[in-house]
A = this chain, B = another copy of it.
Amino acid sequence: MSDDLKNQELEEELVEATEEEVVETVETTELSDLQARFDEVENKYLRAHAEMQNIQRRATEERQQLQKYRSQDLAKKVLPALDNLERALAVEGLTDDVKKGLEMTRDSLVQALKEEGVEEVAVETFDANYHMAVQTLAADDDHPADTIAQVFQKGYQLHDRLLRPAMVVVYS
């Protein structure tokens, strides 16, 4: 083999090797690019999936809250009519018919509210979360502090949520 021929062969081999390398480099770059894009979109998918579950959970919670307290606004506005009925019933000298009619009306209102979760606030012992003291009396042996002496106006709550406090006279 002449030197020229050898050189030519070497050169050809070099060119071949370089071409091969280029092909491999291009494919490796393509592969790692795709891998990066794959990782990115997979992350986006996982985040979207997690977010979707959060949104569903929040929507369910919100729906339950809305359902639970749905009657709150109307209930609050109906309470003055109930007060009026109770005041009317406290008036002396009503005829039996009128009294009976007022009682029926009051009872049907109370029943309607009850079915929707509205109940009178309990007035056993004074609780600032549920009662408003409109007057205080001096506590003594028979009437320890925080005993409720009188209820001026009933309080109401919707499930655990206060609609309005009871107006009370309390020993303190």
Contact = CB atoms under 8 A, between A and B. Distances in A.
Interface of A: 1, 20, 23-24, 27-28, 30-31, 34-35, 37-38, 41-42, 44-45, 48-49, 51-52, 55-56, 59, 62-63, 66-67, 70-71, 73-75, 77-78, 80-81, 84-85, 87-88, 91, 94, 97-98, 101-102, 104-106, 108-109, 111-113, 115-116
Number of copies: 2
B108 A80 contact: yes
A116 B41 contact: no
A75 B75 CA distance: 9
A111 B80 CA distance: 11
Main secondary structure of the interface of A (DSSP, over half): helix
24 contacts: A1-B1, A27-B28, A27-B31, A34-B38, A37-B38, A45-B45, A52-B55, A55-B56, A55-B59, A66-B70, A70-B73, A71-B71, A74-B74, A74-B112, A77-B115, A80-B108, A81-B81, A81-B105, A81-B106, A81-B108, A81-B109, A87-B101, A88-B102, A94-B98
Nearest to A50: B48
Contacts of A78: 74, 78, 109, 112
Contacts of A71: 70-71, 73-74
Given A59-B63, A74-B112, 15 more contacts: A24-B27, A27-B27, A44-B45, A51-B52, A55-B55, A55-B56, A62-B63, A74-B75, A74-B78, A77-B111, A78-B112, A81-B105, A81-B109, A88-B101, A98-B98
Given A49-B48, A55-B59, A81-B108, A116 B38 contact: no
A84 B55 CA distance: 46
